[in-house]
Structure 1
Amino acid sequence: MSVDQNGYIGVVGDQPFQTDFHSLLQEVRDRFSPQTLTLVHSVYIYGSIATGKAVAGRSDLDLTLILNKAPSKHDSDLIESKRRNYEIANPIVSKVDFGIGFLEDIVSADASLAWRYWLKQHCRCIAGEDLAEDILLFRPSRSLALEVNGDFEQVLGKNHRLLLVSRPASNNGRLVREASRKLIRSTNILRKDRDIDWPDTLEEHVARFQGLFPDHRDELQYFFQQAREPVAEPEYFAGRLEAFVGWMSGVLHNRAQQRLCNAWPGYAAGRSVFISASFSGLGSYHLNGHTTPSLLRSFRQCLPAFGVQRGSSLNRVKLNKSRRSKVCGNPVGIVSSSVSGLTKACRGNQT
């Protein structure tokens, strides 16, 4: 996905859909529109059909359904039944995939940036109210990449567990494919803060990664092959998946630790760092009154290694000079304390 002359990430666009898929898309509107299913707020298409690059009989139909509320078990079973029947009845696509989101996650005051990015940059509305119309364009950034794919350990950990459970071969193939695609796209979080490009296709992600980490090019090439044609044995694939995720997590941890160290260059013994958000929150952190949102994940990833537990409400962190020199190498302790009135002062600095 190109970045335009103003530095914004491009959107899918509204080019005409390919003629081969017109009747298919009309059937989607008939089966899944808000007029047919009141639980549905809007329906979006993404992937090769959305971009006009689909191949009849080979491409997938990728849909995102935004629901007005969380579905009951009956609702979930109904949607899945419709998806399965629709897939069987339409051999023009290799399979039908649904992504499910909730209206509250997109329009609320603390809306998910990942969902808003997804609808704006990758999706085309084909039924219901187009929520993307009110979403501003995005610029490439490491923080955006983390919002979009920062959940890779959780998502791929679930895939890993499912692959080790006995299930039909067709289900395993689907899991292998989904995990491979998620892993490849998640490599974008290894970008640097100064990077201004933004990969879109799997091919672009692979090329970008292999340029940055040539020693690991073969590992990612393996997952690219499985994303295209998932034929790997589940246990073997799960082992390679676990190893690669572990490597990525290590790279992120090392970088986060280094960023944390770089934030303290002029701090002597007894100096304090004021943090205006709880460790478990999603707000910006402030170092002595200076907003530093780029350090958010650094603190979240590094502080547990330094002895501060997740969920702690930190008003002030004091770093001993004798320990500071060790922070950049080995995990050590951070002395934390709460000072009366400091919370109120910090809140005044929040953004």
Structure 2
Amino acid sequence: MAETIPPRGLDAQGYLLREGSLARVTNPFRPVVAAARDGLLELFGARLHSAYLYGSIPRGTARVGRSDLDLLAVLHEEPAEADRAGARTLLEALDRRFAQIDGGGVLLSSRTRVLSDLERYDLGFFVACLCTPLLGEDLAEYLPRYRPDSLLARETNGELALLLPRWRARIAETAGTEEALRPLVRSLSRHLVRTAFTLVMPRWNGWTSDLHEMAEAFAGHYPERAEQVRKAALRGYEPVGDAVVLASYVDDLGPWLANEYARVHGIKAPRPEDGA
């Protein structure tokens, strides 16, 4: 029998369930996942505590030639710049080797950080609910169960005001060709839709990673901004390299969303890298 996901991703007690599994990886992506697993082991060896797959591939919704490969590698110690460079090289090699994927990324962290009090409702939630174990010990065993409440909303996406200046700088630094702007449109579109969704997540009472479903959940509470977020969801899947779109994100939708988020849920606890 095919594995099914309960409505809104909640168990009978109202806790969020882990959304993906290796059983949901479709046949075209199985060789990609196997190569990624072997590549992480070769790259990090005994320094690797565990590795995870996340995104559309473990959810079983990946599209051949269109979806990206998303990985999280957890090391026994804090990753260094050389580790990040190695991870980028690995992903680039996988992207060249497999036509099934369109780019992707490898996030790096340490076991200590994942399990820290500061990250419990951000990176910890990400590992426990949005990541699928691929290698090593599953850190979800050390993390709490999560409800779709205001605390989770604040700690997962309550940093938009801090991100907006960085986004403006990235836009200014990016070459103005359509091909150069397309990945940036995809990335910012997805982030804004997810932020819009978590703004209303406690009222919607559940979790989804489908951008269109996220947009509709938001639209039910903010109809005056609904069309903007629906278009952002579409661009998250079908990005266009349009500087006007990016300007609308950082000059209009983004600032409004940051202010409303702070009003409803507060601001995410600062991280050391924020300069706090």
TM-score interval for Structure 1 and Structure 2 normalised by the shorter chain: 0.7 to 0.9
Matched, 1:79 2:90: no
Cα drift, residue 61 of structure 1: 1.4
What is the aligned partner in structure 2 of residue 7 from structure 1? 14
Q: Give 2:258's aligned amino acid.
A: S
Identify which of 15, 32, 38 aligns with 1:30.
38
Q: Give 2:29's aligned amino acid.
A: F
Identify which of 139, 152, 155 aligns with 2:147.
139
- 2:158, 2:246 → 1: CA distance? 20
Query: Which consecutive residues of structure 2, in runs of 5 or more, have no partner in the other structure?
Result: 1-7, 270-275
- 1:216, 1:237 → 2: CA distance? 15
Identify which of 230, 248, 251 aligns with 1:221.
230
What is the aligned partner in structure 2 of residue 163 from structure 1? 171
The answer to whether the 8 Å contact 1:46/1:124 transfers is yes
What is the aligned partner in structure 2 of residue 41 from structure 1? 49
Moved beyond 6 Å, runs of 4+: none
CA deviation map 1:194-244 (0-9, x unaligned)? 65333432122100111111111121122122212221423x123211211
What is the aligned partner in structure 2 of residue 204 from structure 1? 213
Does the C-alpha gap of structure 1 residues 15 and 252 become closer, same or farther in structure 2, counting only changes over 3 Å? closer
Q: Scaled by the length of structure 2, what TM-score is found? A: 0.83
Does the C-alpha gap of structure 1 residues 203 and 194 become closer, same or farther in structure 2, counting only changes over 3 Å? closer
Which has more helix, going by share of residues? 2
SS in 2 for 1:190: helix
- 1:215, 1:191 → 2: CA distance? 14
* Identical amino acids, percent of aligned pairs: 24
Cα drift, residue 119 of structure 1: 0.7
- 2:117, 2:222 → 1: CA distance? 38
Cα drift, residue 100 of structure 1: 2.4
Does the C-alpha gap of structure 1 residues 30 and 216 become closer, same or farther in structure 2, counting only changes over 3 Å? same
What is the aligned partner in structure 1 of residue 187 from structure 2? 178
- 1:107, 1:192 → 2: CA distance? 24
Structure label with greater radius of gyration: 1
* Number of equivalences: 259
Cα drift, residue 59 of structure 1: 2.1
Identify which of 248, 258, 267 aligns with 1:249.
258
Query: Which consecutive residues of structure 1, in runs of 5 or more, have no partner in the other structure?
Result: 257-296, 301-310, 312-351
Q: Give 2:19's aligned amino acid.
A: V
SS in 1 for 2:74: strand
RMSD: 2.6
What is the aligned partner in structure 2 of residue 69 from structure 1? 77
Cα drift, residue 254 of structure 1: 4.6
